A and B are shown apart, each in its own frame.
Chain A
């Protein structure tokens, strides 16, 4: 049973004079019809008849059902009962204005073209979702920015989509899922990185994807707690692949943001990669530097879900090991494990200047905002 425990009243960062860039906001369509204006009739018909064809047992649902309807916090439902994140006016009042968000970056999930085994259908969905973000959200509120979704399994088509969208500067990144059919470091995905770099766009890798592999190296977990946590391991193997395959040797200007994976686990991964690299060097002669150097130079993290050590003072060394400049604040609005900006960074031993960096400074630099 969930019990509501009221937290002590805190000022919002805006009330403290701190601006926020929220790097993880989830929009949603009220109904699938919202995408139709952006889809050819052939694909509208396909959606209505054959629909989603993915690498898991449930065609449209999550095989590990969540604990709250639509994964959402219980107070995020607009008055008309439509799904959280689907009402831009409500999102503006409930989140952007209330929390003093200066810029919000959209991460569209659900009905993702990236998951589809029918690549042409997937491309149609990605294109529609890209148009929809701009027309429904970015046009509505000038604070909102969008992500270019693309079919990573069809790199040539993904590149075309990226090149098409890059001219609209309201798109601030390329978005593909970590759980692809192959680890994203593999060379078949490199044209996507080439296109991103050519257009001066970072890659935002928000947890998720349906590559057809179990969530662990030993099969699927039974429970949502396992599934939720497995996204940390996904980020670990994602970093490992990008580094060891030599993506950063090939693309020295590539910038990566890992979204919704947290970050406290990163120092241990770096130490592990560096230690074992000494013994495996001969297998990977294309790596010219220690793995952690590539990670620190190219990869950043959003903060949510912020890790909560049993002893709060253990957070500071983690942040020092990761680096204040590599953390970009995010809330994950409107999901149940949303990080409230009034509380999320309070126990990390941060100075005001550091808080400002994490709340907005790092993201503004990363995305070229303002």
Chain B
């Protein structure tokens, strides 16, 4: 447990008894996995409970394509539990939080219900997942927070789910996959953003695809490697969609968090967005400022994977080119494998920047993390 503590300190008070970061770190991307649909059954209504049984729905593994749970990237060997799939075991997660000295960890559950076609089935299952997260995870460790898994197929169902969860302040953002049925800026989704702004829940966009389309404009790639590398490209497109459609003009208090997207692609993306906007802005008159300015104000990105090398000062150069110290949010992306040992936070970063990434930026992004006593509604799910 004390291994590696002396290696790196943040500028805040090092506390040898409380893990690497001495409680001064907020992990903004940690994964939990639904072990099987059986655990969701208690949270389903009579109709869906019967459907699960008679249709054998619980025989379906609801794993999303492109995230094979046993592939090396998605399961760091020392973060696998002794039994069960990676991300299903609380004790394994708690051990990691202890070692890192994490103050809060935000749980993101990428679940296959977001890829179903039946809107109400998706809503039932997503609702059950959120109940299950509250009971089996949030109730069991006061460090844990979570994203509300949204049945993205139907924005009205998403709004209902948000309103159901809003009083439980341990839910700190909403969660949608990066690759869905439409670009995220589209007006179709605006009721979700209205609810997010109202309840101070950032829109969390996490790497992952429902594969409604080929992963890229070039068509259906062959390999999971390709698809994983191409997530960043779709994040760029989604970011431009949110800006160009005027989401931030309409919802000025809305924040967006990109998770597991990488960030080294940001500087050339910002420059290109500004340049093109100058030439074609007549078509989007609601975009009244440089896209880069809008993005720096509204968008945040989790740290893992760190996709710029640390040799030759490249990482520092990239962060400088991004033009903001406020955008990066610390994450380990447990149990995914992006770094070895405790190397979550690149050593070459300045102490001041480390502190921002570890603690200040997450606190500024997630207003609900600032609640000292998050309200917990017993039996949050109403029937």
Task: List the interface of chain A (C-beta within 8 A of B).
Answer: 1-2, 67, 178-186, 211, 213-226, 228-230, 232-234, 236-238, 240-241, 244-245, 262, 264-265, 267-269, 271-273, 275-277, 279-280, 282-284, 305, 307-311, 314, 317-318, 321, 336-337
In the bound assembly, the distance between CA atoms of A239 and B106 in angstroms comes to 34
In the bound assembly, the distance between CA atoms of A182 and B182 in angstroms comes to 21
Establish whether residues A234 and B305, one from each chain, have CB atoms under 8 Å apart when the complex forms.
no
State whether the Cβ of B148 lies closer than 8 Å to any Cβ in chain A: no
Establish whether residues A236 and B233, one from each chain, have CB atoms under 8 Å apart when the complex forms.
yes
Establish whether residues A219 and B217, one from each chain, have CB atoms under 8 Å apart when the complex forms.
no
Please, which residue of chain A has its CB at the minimum distance from the CB of B284?
A: A223
CB distance from A184 to the nearest CB of B (A): 7
Interface residues of B in 175-219 (CB under 8 A from A): 178-186, 209, 212-219
Please, which residue of chain A has its CB at the minimum distance from the CB of B306?
A: A275
A-B contact pairs, 8 of them (CB 8 A): A213-B214, A219-B213, A220-B183, A225-B276, A229-B276, A237-B216, A265-B268, A280-B71
Please give, as numbers and ranges, the residues of chain B lying within 8 Å of A219 by CB-CB distance.
180-183, 186, 212-213
In the bound assembly, the distance between CA atoms of A273 and B215 in angstroms comes to 16
In the bound assembly, the distance between CA atoms of A41 and B216 in angstroms comes to 38
Establish whether residues B272 and A262, one from each chain, have CB atoms under 8 Å apart when the complex forms.
yes
Task: List the interface of chain B (C-beta within 8 A of A).
Answer: 71-73, 178-186, 209, 212-226, 228-230, 232-234, 236-238, 240-241, 244-245, 262, 264-265, 267-277, 279-284, 292, 305, 307-309, 314, 317-318, 321, 323, 337
- When the two chains form the complex, which single residue of B71, B213, B223, B267 contacts A213, counting CB atoms closer than 8 Å? B213
In the bound assembly, the distance between CA atoms of A264 and B267 in angstroms comes to 9
The answer to whether residues A218 and B234 also contact, given A225-B244, A309-B267 and a CB cut-off of 8 A, is yes
Establish whether residues A226 and B240, one from each chain, have CB atoms under 8 Å apart when the complex forms.
yes
The answer to whether residues A276 and B225 also contact, given A183-B220, A225-B280 and a CB cut-off of 8 A, is yes
Please, which residue of chain A has its CB at the minimum distance from the CB of B321?
A: A314
The answer to whether residues A179 and B223 also contact, given A218-B178, A222-B186, A275-B305 and a CB cut-off of 8 A, is no
Please give, as numbers and ranges, the residues of chain A lying within 8 Å of B73 by CB-CB distance.
276, 279-280
- When the two chains form the complex, which single residue of A186, A217, A262, A311 contacts B237, counting CB atoms closer than 8 Å? A217
In the bound assembly, the distance between CA atoms of A116 and B213 in angstroms comes to 21
Please give, as numbers and ranges, the residues of chain A lying within 8 Å of B308 by CB-CB distance.
268, 271
Establish whether residues B229 and A273, one from each chain, have CB atoms under 8 Å apart when the complex forms.
yes
The answer to whether residues A180 and B219 also contact, given A213-B213, A268-B307, A275-B305 and a CB cut-off of 8 A, is yes
Please give, as numbers and ranges, the residues of chain A lying within 8 Å of B272 by CB-CB distance.
229, 232, 262, 264-265, 307
Establish whether residues A218 and B283, one from each chain, have CB atoms under 8 Å apart when the complex forms.
no
- When the two chains form the complex, which single residue of A178, A182, A276, A314 contacts B229, counting CB atoms closer than 8 Å? A276
- When the two chains form the complex, which single residue of B184, B229, B269, B292 contacts A265, counting CB atoms closer than 8 Å? B269
In the bound assembly, the distance between CA atoms of A133 and B272 in angstroms comes to 32
CB distance from A267 to the nearest CB of B (A): 8
CB distance from B276 to the nearest CB of A (A): 5
Establish whether residues B72 and A280, one from each chain, have CB atoms under 8 Å apart when the complex forms.
yes
Please, which residue of chain B has its CB at the minimum distance from the CB of A187?
A: B222
In the bound assembly, the distance between CA atoms of A236 and B267 in angstroms comes to 15
Establish whether residues B221 and A237, one from each chain, have CB atoms under 8 Å apart when the complex forms.
yes
- Interface centre among A179, A218, A230, A272, by most B CB within 10 Å? A218
Establish whether residues B271 and A264, one from each chain, have CB atoms under 8 Å apart when the complex forms.
yes
CB distance from B167 to the nearest CB of A (A): 31
Please, which residue of chain B has its CB at the minimum distance from the CB of A178?
A: B218
Establish whether residues B240 and A217, one from each chain, have CB atoms under 8 Å apart when the complex forms.
no
CB distance from A148 to the nearest CB of B (A): 21
The answer to whether residues A183 and B219 also contact, given A216-B238, A223-B244, A276-B225 and a CB cut-off of 8 A, is yes
Please, which residue of chain B has its CB at the minimum distance from the CB of A242?
A: B218
Establish whether residues B219 and A226, one from each chain, have CB atoms under 8 Å apart when the complex forms.
no
Establish whether residues B215 and A232, one from each chain, have CB atoms under 8 Å apart when the complex forms.
no
Please give, as numbers and ranges, the residues of chain A lying within 8 Å of B216 by CB-CB distance.
183, 213, 216-217, 233-234, 236-237, 240
Please, which residue of chain B has its CB at the minimum distance from the CB of A211?
A: B219
The answer to whether residues A211 and B271 also contact, given A276-B225, A276-B228 and a CB cut-off of 8 A, is no
